[in-house]
Structure 1
């Protein structure tokens, strides 16, 4: 009997300890998505790359001739915090983590297609790891030109710790503790989590490995981790700012409801016709294609010196417009007011794209001065929204961005800049573009062009 009682006590103690361990895991709030032994709860789709478990790690191996292959969870998730460790051993092995991923099994003649939000693992010189790519759909949503400090976070040949928050319409990422990307987007509310083995271009890269481990998730009582630094937010909601943006000094220049904060150039009021606000969009109607000859340009009532300006624009076929800055309205000229111009143009169908010097009148260029160095894959076609951005720092360094990619850089007032002005249409204007402050201008060039999500932050 004594032996039986002792055995019962040992069993009871063991059960109690096991129960405590289980409770501790529940209190912690994390659930392991990978058990460290096999691929239970996961399945490969869309390609023929292989996945196996080696020493508690999921190892994916590239296969020649295969498209991108994904190991995806059998369960879908909505709001969550995901953490995992990811290692890339070769430059050919671009990878990523699908977040609220989607799968169409009928696509590609029944081979299936994975699409949706992907958090990048990019071992190339570009170094956009942690950025947000919309796989097989819209392309890059958050290139790391928007947060260049984060380009050094990812370590080649080492396990990198990823943290991904998908809460409501917000997706935020960290690599090795460093804040990387912040996107507000409402396209997908739920979806699977997926681990990518990318397709390869060279047969000799077959067998290259990408590894994943310590994959865990929280789905309840979520506590978002704040970004301590001021990270640029790609906010795809309509004319709205997050609390984070407001705390960091951003404000809307267009409220989406009316023309408050804007007036006609050289006028005291907003134009009575031509410009309109409807469904959260600011539009200039088509007229006869002439520059500022009908409704006319509009400018902010406020002036700005150093700033970060972001906006979206949508062109119709053959359309021409522009976003100007450091507009003083002091020149007394006819036509469009004078200022530095971020060109807004249908490069394929407007003749201005072939004028000027070496393409310096094409979309996103510093008009008539510096050609935008852009890749066609980062240009949205006519009828879709493109994202523009102009950053002017207090030391007069200026950058233009198109859809998150930096395409122009220069320094206002530098000798190089003045040499360009001297051979441009602006050579007759003394100290062109060097005013201490000026208005932001949206141009009426007689074509149908729309704007939205216009926001600005003063830089000090």
Structure 2
């Protein structure tokens, strides 16, 4: 029997099976010929294949459109190239879903941003139709320059366990630790445009490939990490120099302000959160403020906080406990407040007692709507003190306050505030971190600190 025809067929079949997957374990997500393996969801933007590219074209008065994989993916590494019109916004959905019971099938989930605008947030991570921005590129200024207009850009997305990392043209752009969704489809977005907007702008995708086995995370880099997993310290956060200032379980490392021990009442630890017990809105009259046992000079402090309706609290720094005060201990304060329902927001001067501001001194900038969080949901704050005494306040990935300790402007603000009663207010070389008891229900978690040199 002549086996040569059979062997020839087997060789052809083996060649076909390996053509879709190269030696590195990559598989083509797009075959370069048609839209096999994809389905369109939500809007009616036009998707077509030309010259080995998927081309998406905007259509007036249509909602966001998505070309989604029929298959779901959990852990993977994906690479692709894209060329987008500079006046167009787009994104790449990962671990995303469309369910009839959720907003009538609206696509929701993680989106890797394609942003050719002056904002330059390409490679950032947005939570489509759910929580809004998780990693805006304000947190990584070096990543803003990665995307190039009017040319092909290469994206790399690593999605392994709770870690999502992105690169644009080889430059790291985002690093997120988040446990909201473990699996879902991948989709190419054409953003909505209004009824009067000119249609016809295009985005082109090519060389879309994915790897789902033998995954290894890329080496560590030094960009900022957003970690929404409660009280978790990721491997890159450790490498970047962070440590937990609160362990998420005990009172270790903390005591009452002006006391030797942690308050016996007014504070409680439950489900990984450190909570001020509601007691009527009085300042430091129940459990009282708590302070870190360790003192800090230049540092970056990250913390999550959750406000109940009408609540007031604060995170203070450079607290020395030397000043005499009938209420809360004295220090520079990152204001934590329900601006809409607490009267303190309307006091002070021109909004300098509102959420995330430098209390009684500097009004914060307004965060974009996509970064705002409703009362009863978790916010992420950052206080950054540089060795040269420059200080920043951040709220949900957006810088809202910047000032220089000891500058003429700073001294002028202090002289016009309630802090003028204390000599050299806020000018200690180091001090404790304080969480304020203002008698309202407020929760804290994921309190982390990095000392700066």
Q: Same fold (TM over 0.5)?
A: yes
For residues 69-125 of structure 1, give each alpha carbon's deviation from its aligned partner in whole angstroms, at most 9, with x where no partner exists.
Answer: 00010111111001111221132x1101001111124666x5x31000001111121
Indicate the larger mover: 215-224 or 245-254: 245-254
Q: Which residue of 2 aligns with 1:278?
A: 270
| Correspondence 1:337-416 to 2 at 5 A | 337-375=329-367, 377=369, 378-416=371-409
Q: Which residue of 2 aligns with 1:157?
A: 150
For residues 172-224 of structure 1, give each alpha carbon's deviation from its aligned partner in whole angstroms, at most 9, with x where no partner exists.
Answer: 11111111111111111110100000011363430000111111000000111
Q: Which residue of 2 aligns with 1:232?
A: 224
Q: RMSD value over aligned CA atoms?
A: 2.0
Cα distance in 2 for residues equivalent to 1:362 and 1:305: 25
Whether 2:189 is the aligned partner of 1:196: answer yes
SS of the aligned residue for 1:203 comes to coil
Cα distance in 2 for residues equivalent to 1:78 and 1:163: 16
Indicate the larger mover: 359-368 or 398-407: 398-407
Cα distance in 1 for residues equivalent to 2:194 and 2:227: 34
SS of the aligned residue for 1:457 comes to strand
| Correspondence 1:101-250 to 2 at 5 A | 101-105=96-100, 112-201=105-194, 203-228=196-221, 230-250=222-242
Residue segments in structure 1 that go unaligned for 5+ positions in a row? none
Q: Is the 8 A contact 1:179 1:227 kept in 2?
A: no
Give the Å deviation of 1:428: 2.2
Residue segments in structure 2 that go unaligned for 5+ positions in a row? none
Give the Å deviation of 1:376: 6.2
Give the Å deviation of 1:13: 8.3
Indicate the larger mover: 289-298 or 261-270: 289-298
How many pairs does the alignment contain?
A: 450
SS of the aligned residue for 2:418 comes to coil
Cα distance in 2 for residues equivalent to 1:434 and 1:252: 25
Give the Å deviation of 1:23: 4.8
Q: 1:325 aligns with which of 317, 321, 329?
A: 317
SS of the aligned residue for 1:426 comes to helix
Q: Is the 8 A contact 2:367 2:398 kept in 1?
A: no
Whether 2:441 is the aligned partner of 1:448: answer yes
Q: Is the 8 A contact 1:97 1:119 kept in 2?
A: yes
Q: Which residue of 1 aligns with 2:41?
A: 45
Whether 2:89 is the aligned partner of 1:94: answer yes
SS of the aligned residue for 2:72 comes to coil
Give the Å deviation of 1:459: 0.9
SS of the aligned residue for 1:342 comes to strand
Q: Structure 2-normalised TM-score?
A: 0.95
Q: Structure 1-normalised TM-score?
A: 0.94
Cα distance in 2 for residues equivalent to 1:336 and 1:355: 18
For residues 319-352 of structure 1, give each alpha carbon's deviation from its aligned partner in whole angstroms, at most 9, with x where no partner exists.
Answer: 1000001111111322111111000001011100
SS of the aligned residue for 2:295 comes to coil
Q: Which residue of 1 aligns with 2:26?
A: 30
SS of the aligned residue for 2:23 comes to helix
Give the Å deviation of 1:227: 3.1
SS of the aligned residue for 1:161 comes to strand
